[in-house]
Amino acid sequence: MWVKICGIKDLETAAAVAERRPDAIGLNFYPKSPRCVAPETAAEIVTLLPPTVEAVGVFVNHEIETVAAICRDCRLGTAQMHGDETPQQLAELRLTSPELKIVRGHRMGGEGIEPLETYLTTCQQQGVELTACLIDARVEGTYGGSGQVAPWSLLAEQYQRRSWPPLILAGGLNPANVAGAIEAVAPWGVDVASGVESSPGQKDLQAVEWFIASARGRSSA
């Protein structure tokens, strides 16, 4: 199970989280987030990560030129587009940075998967190949990190695994529920931010360790 710990914003926490061996950490560049990290700090974080831990840039409604520049300057190989970006904007990013992997964040509510299906169809028409889709809970006024759970049963029933990008499950996950979420949804990977924090933006390293162990079906003891 691929595991990402999102919202790392300082060197000390990055080093400590990396020691717990997730597959990836998320570096959030959204200014309104309590987990926002400065590009200069993000670049330093990337230099200290071991090869086994990938850094993923998280962007919300940034200019495409800004996304490309930050990923280049911070040496990020993956951009998670988590705002209202259109398939056309993703196509622009693909042209600007052809080597960059793109993860599309989608906020899902009780309406089901149809909006994502339409979006992915348009991406295909635009020639945009996505590395993965990250499904978060749709909460009005937020772009993620709300701590709310996505509709697992709808997602499990409607996500077209054979023809769509690998599914990363986010939204309200924590060490106590991630194993059940994986059993219910069967995602390719899981992503957590607020579920392993002692306060907004402050990671609880014991919770991080427990989350990773639970996601991978191991005891944290």
Active site residues: 6, 136
- pLDDT of 152 above 80: yes
Q: What is the rounded distance in angstroms from the CA atom of residue 215 to the CA atom of residue 177?
A: 9
Q: What is the rounded distance in angstroms from the CA atom of residue 136 to the CA atom of residue 148?
A: 8
Residue ranges making up the domain that contains 14: 2-215
Residue 199 lies in a domain: yes
- pLDDT of 140 above 80: no
For 178-190, what is each residue's pLDDT tens digit?
999 999 999 999 9
Structurally, the chain folds into a number of domains equal to: 1
| Confidence band, pLDDT 50/70/90 cuts, at residue 145 | low
For 33-71, what is each residue's pLDDT tens digit?
999 999 999 999 999 999 999 999 999 999 999 999 999
Residue 41 lies in a domain: yes
Residue 114 lies in a domain: yes
Residue 20 lies in a domain: yes
Residue 208 lies in a domain: yes
- pLDDT of 221 above 50: no
Identify the CATH number of the domain in which residue 132 sits. 3.20.20.70
Using only the alpha carbons of the chain, give its radius of gyration.
16
pLDDT at residue 109, as a whole number: 80
Look at the alpha carbons of 22, 163, 179, 106 in this order and tell me if their dihedral is positive or negative: positive
Residue 221 lies in a domain: no
Residue 44 lies in a domain: yes
Residue 40 lies in a domain: yes
